[in-house]
């Protein structure tokens, strides 16, 4: 049999040649633009499974195009859950997602759980502690400190155990840890040490990860973003202008800040396209790093020697 050069074609061929146990849940992770949604649909149709979303941006109602959410045609071929159901003014977190998955597993014990949000897969397979919600007043105070003094001011207040455990270079993670400490009186590390057993241990699943060649993925990212623009990404972004908040979780949709800047007259059209494409590549790189460090036991469907 001739060698298949395209990593996505290779992944399809491997799933067809050695399909997973149809009774076990499948986990399918991969960086943006890697083709994981198409693979999930292929597997769901072939084995009569449903698809559960594990992407933190595809949950938002306003991002059909920019999040590359499955369209009506895909959803008609297999049931899709946890897509496009969260509004911009609703709270949503890994905890919300995990509770939603737990409820769905009662009726659908063998889904394909697909996405690129590593934290969701970690919560699913390693467990997630339930931390009380942060009061709005504390979050507003944290926002003000962050805006005026930067994340370093928040980091200085954290306990040593939490500082040693979180990504101190990530302002969002630092602020979250600060909010937890202020709201509960206990550090985030102390809460994490009480993590319960996982909802789906990795050993009870068939876990796959896509790690395609970087040059191949970068080329797909360039093409896909231009396709998104042709499919209405600018109009989609224009619709959120009245309530745009760059600090909101939903505003992290890749390409949204750049298109907002274009619509507000801050950058040119070509600058917006180039910046959004670069931001997508950088996001994919962060995803690849997470998968490399956290998913070493997962089967890589793109590997040439798999």
pLDDT at 5: 63
pLDDT tens track, the chain, 306 positions: 344 468 999 999 999 999 999 999 999 999 999 999 999 999 999 999 999 999 999 999 999 999 999 999 999 999 999 999 999 999 899 999 999 999 999 999 999 999 999 999 999 999 998 888 889 899 999 999 999 999 999 999 999 999 999 989 888 889 999 999 999 999 999 998 999 999 999 999 999 999 999 999 999 999 999 999 999 999 999 999 999 999 899 999 999 999 999 999 999 999 999 999 999 999 999 999 999 998 989 999 998 764
- Tell whether 84 is covered by a domain: yes
CATH number at residue 233: 1.10.287.890
- Based on the fold, state whether residues 219 and 279 are members of the same structural domain: yes
- Based on the fold, state whether residues 202 and 236 are members of the same structural domain: no
Task: Please give the residue range of the domain that contains residue 19.
Answer: 7-129+197-212+288-300
- Based on the fold, state whether residues 32 and 178 are members of the same structural domain: no
- Based on the fold, state whether residues 202 and 218 are members of the same structural domain: no
- Based on the fold, state whether residues 181 and 221 are members of the same structural domain: no
The structural domain count of the chain equals 3
CATH number at residue 20: 3.40.50.300
Q: DSSP secondary structure string, the chain?
A: -PPP-SHHHHHHHHHHHSPPPTTS-EEEE--TTSSHHHHHHHHHHHHT--EEE--TTTTBTT-STTTT---HHHHHHS-EESSS-B-TTS---HHHHHHHHHHHHHH-SS-EEEES-HHHHHHHHH----PPPPPHHHHHHHHHHHHHH-HHHHHTTS-HHHHHHS-TT-HHHHHHHHHHHHHHSS-HHHHHTTPPPPSS-GGGSEEEE----HHHHHHHHHHHHHHHHHTTHHHHHHTTGGG--TTSGGGGSTTHHHHHHHHTTSS-HHHHHHHHHHHHHHHHHHHHHHHHHH-TTSEETT-TT-
pLDDT at 154: 95
- Tell whether 94 is covered by a domain: yes
- Based on the fold, state whether residues 18 and 105 are members of the same structural domain: yes
- Tell whether 250 is covered by a domain: yes
pLDDT at 152: 95
């Amino acid at each position: 049999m001739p060698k298949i050069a395209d990593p996505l074609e290779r992944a399809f061929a491997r799933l067809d040649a050695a399909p997973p146990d149809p009774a076990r849940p499948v986990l399918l992770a991969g960086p943006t633009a890697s083709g994981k949604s198409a693979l999930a649909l292929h597997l769901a149709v072939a084995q009569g499974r449903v698809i559960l979303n594990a992407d933190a941006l595809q949950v938002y109602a306003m991002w059909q195009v920019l999040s590359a959410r499955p369209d009506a045609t895909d959803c008609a071929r297999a049931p899709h859950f946890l897509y496009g159901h969260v509004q911009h003014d609703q709270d949503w977190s890994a905890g919300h997602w995990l509770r939603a998955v737990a409820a769905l597993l009662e009726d659908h014990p063998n889904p394909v759980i697909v996405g690129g949000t590593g934290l969701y897969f970690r919560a699913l397979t390693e467990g997630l502690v339930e931390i009380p919600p942060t009061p709005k007043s504390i979050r507003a105070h944290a926002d003000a400190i962050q805006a005026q003094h930067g994340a370093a001011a928040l980091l200085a207040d954290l306990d040593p155990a939490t500082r040693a455990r979180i990504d101190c270079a990530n302002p969002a993670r630092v602020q979250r840890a600060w909010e937890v400490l202020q709201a509960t009186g206990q550090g985030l590390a102390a809460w994490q040490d009480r993590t319960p057993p996982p909802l789906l241990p990795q050993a009870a699943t068939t876990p796959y990860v896509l790690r395609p060649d970087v040059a191949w993925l970068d080329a797909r990212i360039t093409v896909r973003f231009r396709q998104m623009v042709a499919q209405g990404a600018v109009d989609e972004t224009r619709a959120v202008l009245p309530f745009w908040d760059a600090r909101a979780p939903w505003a992290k949709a890749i390409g949204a800040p750049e298109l907002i800047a274009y619509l507000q007259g801050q950058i040119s059209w070509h600058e917006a396209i180039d910046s959004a494409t670069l931001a997508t590549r950088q996001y994919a790189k962060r995803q690849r790093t997470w998968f490399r460090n956290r998913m070493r036991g997962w089967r890589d469907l793109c590997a040439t020697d798999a």
